Amino acid sequence: MKTIFNALLVVMVAVMASCVSEEVGPRGPQGPEGPQGPKGDQGESGYVFEFEDVNFTAPDYEVFLPFPDDFDTYISDVALVYLLWDVVNVNGVDTEIWRQVPQTILTNDGLLQYNFDFSTGDVRLFMEAEFNMDLLGAIDTDDWVVRVVVVPGNFWDPARIDKSNIPYEDIKEMLGLPDMPSPQPEHKRRPV
């Protein structure tokens, strides 16, 4: 009886195995492409904030530029800061010259550097110098126009992007940043 049961079990397993074949038949032709789905909103890859009339005042020669209250930043985000250094006429068109911070210039008194740090709530711009900064004039400290670009951390790839020297127009194109109104500085900055 046990032998008949084992033989029947082997036959049933063989029959079941033949039913579970992976070959279903030849593959049919590719079907037509489906309809285009609705266009979604453009994803955000960067944010730009502009601050006008920025003044570095004694004794600290620093200024805090807060992010808007309705803007959420994350600790993985990266900030890039640009100063409007000059506006020059190129072929009849006023062209803005933006310089990425940190920016070091040589003055008659020694080296002067514009620098920054940032948190999830603001950017702190500050000046450092090899000399007493009370010697600086308004051309160095007053009426700056500053653009802060916040790059989401999931976009930032240090192996792909060297953030130490990215011209503003390049970062604007790379991140699809909006056009900003053209501010006009009241006076030119120091030449380099």
Element containing residue 129 per DSSP (H, E):
strand 122-129
**Is 12 part of a structural domain of the chain?**
no
Q: Is residue 26 part of a domain?
A: no
Report the pLDDT value the prediction gives residue 22, as an integer from 0 to 100: 60
pLDDT value, residue 56: 95
Cα distance between residue 184 and residue 181, in whole Å: 10
State the pLDDT at residue 151: 85
Give the residue from 75, 73, 51, 55 showing the smallest Cα distance to 138. 55
**DSSP-assigned letters across all residues of 37-87:** PPP-PPPP--EEEEEEEE--BTTTTEEEEEPPTT----TT-EEEEEEEEEE
Between CA 84 and CA 168 the distance in angstroms is 10
Q: Which residues of the chain have pLDDT under 70?
A: 1-2, 4-24, 39-45, 154-165, 167, 171-172, 174-192
- pLDDT digit string, tens, across residues 108-160: 999 999 999 999 999 999 999 999 999 999 999 999 999 999 888 766 555 55
The reply to whether 109 falls in a domain is yes
For residue 148, tell me if it sits in a domain.
Answer: yes
Q: Give the pLDDT confidence score for residue 191 in this predicted structure.
A: 47
Q: Do the domain assignments include residue 140?
A: yes
* Whether 168 contacts 174, CB under 8 Å: no
Instruction: Give a yes or no: residue 23 inside a domain.
Output: no
Q: Determine the structural domain holding residue 148 and report its residue range.
A: 47-175
33 inside domain: no
Domain count across the chain: 1
Q: Is residue 192 part of a domain?
A: no
Question: Could you tell me the CATH number of the domain that includes residue 61?
Answer: 2.60.40
| Predicted TM-score of the model (pTM) | 0.66
pLDDT of residue 27: 82
